[in-house]
Amino acid sequence: MEKAVIHYTLDLLITLYDSTTGHAVDERNVQFFKNGDFVTAHARGEGCYVFMNDGRENCLMRVEVYGYEPQNLKVDYEKMDKIMPMLDVFLIPSENTKRGEPVLTLKGRLPGLESLEAIHPGRAVTTIRDIDTKKRICSLFSPNRRANLTESAYGLFNAEKITFEKIEIAEEMSEKKIRLRKNPEEEYPPNSSLCRIIYGQVEEDGTYLFRVRNDGRSLRYLIKYVVNGQPRYKKVDFGEPDIPSLD
């Protein structure tokens, strides 16, 4: 009798993160829906889920995880790696979450809103001494021996303009040097802060949702939101009784 040979094709790798902490989501009650139909994903630990033999057609994926808000995301294979298509999904904890500190909410609707993210300028992970733009190499300063950059992207804060932009790390070359996927779009003063990005949710009609953890520390965040292709910034203190909406 001939032996059966089964071939598997890895079509997508999704990693789930808690948007407020950046930690991988370890909740096991997870469901995925592709264009409205339930699909099976294989758990690989540390928030990673693999989809095999499902095909590589662009689709709308819905992620439902106990303790988090459902999230819809567009899977566009033209924008992902051809060999290993991967997506990082940042989930927003529900208001009745029983894990970690309670959450504080910013929500509303703003027509034309395309994206929403924020940094906490007072909680920098490290600072950038300088950037060699020819080699896309950043020299870092950190009070610790190692900068300990665990995420693939961070917000580079411009203290002079009170703005920030997302930069992606291509390679951690040493304890104090990283290579960027591309250079920042503008020049930054020396020793600019590198901060973790907290991501919000935006629906097609401009409905938005954003949450942070109430850890009892300073809750002053810098919100960046894009409306009709134009970035806007707003300082929001989540420690105040009334949190202003976006405008």
- pLDDT (tens digit per residue) in 178-212: 999 999 999 898 899 999 999 999 999 999 999 99
**The model's pTM:** 0.89
pLDDT confidence of residue 146: 62
Query: What CA–CA distance (Å, rounded) separates 234 from 105?
Result: 15
Band of pLDDT at residue 159, cut at 50, 70 and 90:
very high
Q: Domains of the chain: which residue ranges?
A: 10-91, 103-119+198-237, 126-195
Closest-CA residue to 232 (of 112, 103, 89): 112
Looking at per-residue confidence, does 238 or 148 come out higher?
Answer: 238
In CATH, what number does 10-91 get?
Answer: 2.60.40.1120
How is the chain split among helix, strand and coil, in percent rounded to 5?
0, 50, 50
